[in-house]
Amino acid sequence: MTPAARIQAVIELLAEVVETPRPADTVASLYFRARRYIGSSDRGAINTRFYRAMREYIRLSWWVEKCGAETTPRNLIVAALIFDREHTAESLPMMFSGERYAPDELTEDEYKLAQALEGKKLDDAEMPLRERCECPDWAFDALQSALGPRFETELKAMLSAAPLDLRVNTIKAKRDDVLKRLKQEGFDAEAGKISPLSIRVLGRPQLSQHELYLQGHFEIQDEGSQMVALVAGAQPGEQVADFCAGAGGKTLALGASMDNKGRIVAMDVLGGRLERAKERFRRAGLHNIETRALTSERDKYVKRAAGKFDLVLVDAPCSGVGTWRRDPDKRWRQLGPGLSSLVPLQKDILDSAHRLVRPGGRLVYATCSLLPEENELQIESFLAAHPDFSIDPVSARINVEGAGDFLHMTPARHDTDGFFAAVLRRKEQVNDTKQEAGSDKEAEQAAT
């Protein structure tokens, strides 16, 4: 592909993301699948420019509007090419030539925009803090309150691309052996700094077809996500429920830590994702996992299995604030339900899932969010309603910066996605039988 054709592809991708509710990675995947003639080097160059534009979207929009222009995909890419010093106002017309596969010729207004931006810096002193940190309006006040003096540092840490982390599957391999193999094959890889199972591979190579991946020796999983499973501390022989298992990433980590001994029930309301996860379980060599599709968080199974599990993990659906460097489009467009829907849903899930925990067992609540409304405040509300549970401090389980009563993984401190986790332990003897009976009655009514 010519450089001009690559620019046109980026414009088309950005336009698709702006106009549809699909996640950006899905948009890109479908785009390239429909254009199999695009080679790997061209795909890499297009994706690099595409994701960079999304990470700069709010700042680019501020500049385009400041210059009196509309925030169209073409204008945003014109601005991006100027700010990233890839082109000047004089060289842009050669790319926007209107020739085959190239973008249409620059309009007079687009050319004037390029001229107005020439010599400017993307991060301007006049730019407000919110725009400078690429923070959406709806999260600005809450994140400032939660992060305090670390707000700008943490938000800017999410402006770079996420690294590629692997979790070695201890059922089949050892980290040192996998790391040695990758290095021998020329990959720029190093042991993770936080998780004892992690390997970080620099340069983001495509590893989903690597022999070791296909044989189940490792999974692709952010190091922060690995820490949630480590905090949960699933043990061999335990009965474990992964209440919001999704695609099974944390289920796999739990199963490996149990050394295939005991039982895991992976549950989710999205049965299709559980079906697809089965192949991941087989590849990993895990045979202690069963799946169960739920009709809702109040599925009748929860009442039937009440008090049967040593560990229940609730990896709750959330805003995904902690994954912004991985999913930059979540910063400036709404994908899925907002906080007003997510917060009560998280509460309902916790209120139902806790019934599965046996006396003396553990309930682990986790999100990939940095917002207190989805994290600490949810735990505070839950404990007020369920006094038979108490906080089991994370600091007693792991020695990681930011671990106290709860686990707080953040991009700036740990170079991971943002994660929150709380471990709650149920009292050996349930005293508040009246409350539990009421909860079960409500659950039965909801299920029927």
Q: Write out the residue limits of the CATH 3.30.70.1170 domain(s) in the chain.
A: 164-220
Amino acid at 434: K
Task: Count the Cβ atoms, other than its own, within 10 Å of residue 190.
Answer: 14
pLDDT for the residue 437: 45
Task: Count the Cβ atoms, other than its own, within 10 Å of residue 146.
Answer: 20
Architecture of domain 223-447: 3-Layer(aba) Sandwich (3.40)
Phi-psi region of 292 (alpha: psi -120 to 50; beta: other; left: phi over 0): beta
Phi, psi of 138 (to 5 degrees): -65, -20
Note the pTM of the prediction, 2 decimals: 0.91
pLDDT for the residue 444: 45
Topology adopted by domain 164-220: Alpha-Beta Plaits (3.30.70)
Q: Which of 133, 244, 318, 368 is catalytic?
A: 368
Q: Which residue, among 209, 223, 218, has the nearest Cα to 163 in the 3D structure?
A: 223
Residue 368 annotated among the catalytic residues of the structure? yes
Q: Which residue, among 177, 199, 197, 178, has the nearest Cα to 189 in the 3D structure?
A: 199
Cα end-to-end span (Å), the chain:
59
Look-up of token digits 């199974």: 301
Residues of the chain with pLDDT under 50: 432-439, 441-448
For residue 79, what are the contacts with CB-CB under 8 A and spacing of at least 6?
A: 60, 63, 64, 113, 114, 117
CB 258 within 8 A of CB 311: no
pLDDT for the residue 448: 36
pLDDT for the residue 336: 83
Cα separation of 11 and 213, whole Å? Answer: 33
Look-up of token digits 């332990």: 425
Q: Write out the residue limits of the CATH 3.40.50.150 domain(s) in the chain.
A: 223-447
pLDDT for the residue 277: 94
